[in-house]
Amino acid sequence: MAGKLLTDDRSGDADGLYAKLIAAHRDLTDEQSLLVNARLILLLANHIGDTDVLDEAIDLARALPE
């Protein structure tokens, strides 16, 4: 049975979204980059608000190969 997490490209511009994420880290130190990632994750997790979806996303992210 499929979970609740939507994993298809819903942005309409996956390459553009990727470029924005990369640009958000430009000229940052490693520590600053980690803080931006943590803040972005917390903001989006709060926006999603569904713990089942968040649990699924965490499990999937941990299972992906490096």
To the question of pTM greater than 0.75 for the whole model, the response is: yes
Residue 3 in any domain: the answer is no
In a domain, 7, yes or no: no
Q: Is residue 11 part of a domain?
A: no
8-56 pLDDT tens trace? 999 999 999 999 999 999 999 999 999 999 999 999 999 999 999 999 9
Instruction: Give the model's confidence band at 59: pLDDT under 50 very low, under 70 low, under 90 confident, else very high.
Output: very high
What does the buried/exposed string (b/e) look like for 41-51 if buried means 16 or more CB atoms within 10 Å of the residue's CB? eeeeeeeeeee
* Residue 59: inside a domain: yes
pLDDT of residue 58: 95
For residue 46, tell me if it sits in a domain. yes
What value does the mean pLDDT take over residues 53-63? 95
pLDDT, position 12: 92
Q: Is residue 21 part of a domain?
A: no
The answer to the question of residue 35 being in a domain is yes
Number of domains in the chain: 1
Sign of CA dihedral 39, 45, 48, 54: positive
For residue 50, give its domain range. 28-66
